[in-house]
Amino acid sequence: MAVRVFGLPKSTCTSRVLLVLEELGVEYELVPVNFAAGEHKQHPYLERNPFGQLPAFQDGDLSLFESRVITRYLVRKYGKDSGLLKETAPEEAAAVDQWMEVETAQFNPAICAIVFQIVILPIIFGGTTDEKVVEAQLDKLGKVLDVYEARLSKSKYLAGESYTLADIHHISYIHYFLTATPHASFFDSRPHVKAWWEAISSRPAIAKITAGLSFK
């Protein structure tokens, strides 16, 4: 039976998982969750993800939540030879781990807050963008991207010369940031970051999933 992902194509965390499934060529079923009706906050969805968030995941008897944990599982189970975690050499695997952690701890909090304020809050919740929050988080994101610019001037991808899970984990939020906020210059003005984005966003597995990342 195909693995099942419970979520929505427009959800950044759901699409993080879908990107990896597409990259590995693993057959899957996307089971839609009725977000507007609050299905993710109710039984039985809460048994799949007790935090009431998208996505959740099932592979046979294994049930998982947390998108970045699901992606790692997928690579270990279905993509041992993919090189996406570089687990054949501890030093290389550590570089992948390091940049995955940077995405989670440094990059995601800033870009997630900006995309929430500019895209999700007004469109989904009918709220008003708090420009002060946007400004503060843009400042943080700029500092993180300066570190990326320095790193990517030395290697084509974050964890070295090949594409890894560390790169994939960034795609969903950058896609929203570039297509739905007026701040694309944050990426365009940093030539190595820009070249990295062009390399990772032009992979064939990407287009199908990023096409679903829209609130329009």
Residues in the site for ligand GS8, rule: CB under 6 A? 11-14, 40, 52-54, 66-68
Q: Which is nearer to ligand GS8, 12 or 152 (CB)?
A: 12
User: Residue 99: which H helix or E strand, with range?
Assistant: helix 90-102
At its nearest, how many Å lie between ligand GS8 and the CB of residue 158? 18
Which backbone phi and psi does 85 adopt, to 5 degrees? Answer: -115, -5
Q: Which is nearer to ligand GS8, 53 or 181 (CB)?
A: 53
Q: Measured between alpha carbons, how far is 172 from 109 in angstroms, rounded to an integer?
A: 14
Tokens at residue 127, please?
């709220």
Q: Which is nearer to ligand GS8, 52 or 83 (CB)?
A: 52
Q: How far is CA 152 from each of CA 104, 115, 123, 190, 194, rounded to the nearest angstrom?
A: 18, 24, 34, 10, 10
Distance of CA 93 to the CA centre of its chain: 19
Q: Which is nearer to ligand GS8, 69 or 207 (CB)?
A: 69
| DSSP count for the chain of H helices, then E strands | 12, 4
Do strands 56-59 and 28-32 pair parallel, antiparallel, or not at all (unpaired)? unpaired
Q: Measured between alpha carbons, how far is 214 from 120 in angstroms, rounded to an integer?
A: 10
Residue 47 CB contacts under 8 Å (≥ 6 apart), including other chains: none
Tokens at residue 109, please?
């909090």
Please, which residues bridge with residue 30 across strands?
A: 5
At its nearest, how many Å lie between ligand GS8 and the CB of residue 13? 4
At its nearest, how many Å lie between ligand GS8 and the CB of residue 8? 8
At its nearest, how many Å lie between ligand GS8 and the CB of residue 10? 8
Q: Which is nearer to ligand GS8, 13 or 141 (CB)?
A: 13
At its nearest, how many Å lie between ligand GS8 and the CB of residue 100? 12
Q: Measured between alpha carbons, how far is 100 from 98 in angstroms, rounded to an integer?
A: 5
At its nearest, how many Å lie between ligand GS8 and the CB of residue 52? 6
Q: Which is nearer to ligand GS8, 12 or 210 (CB)?
A: 12
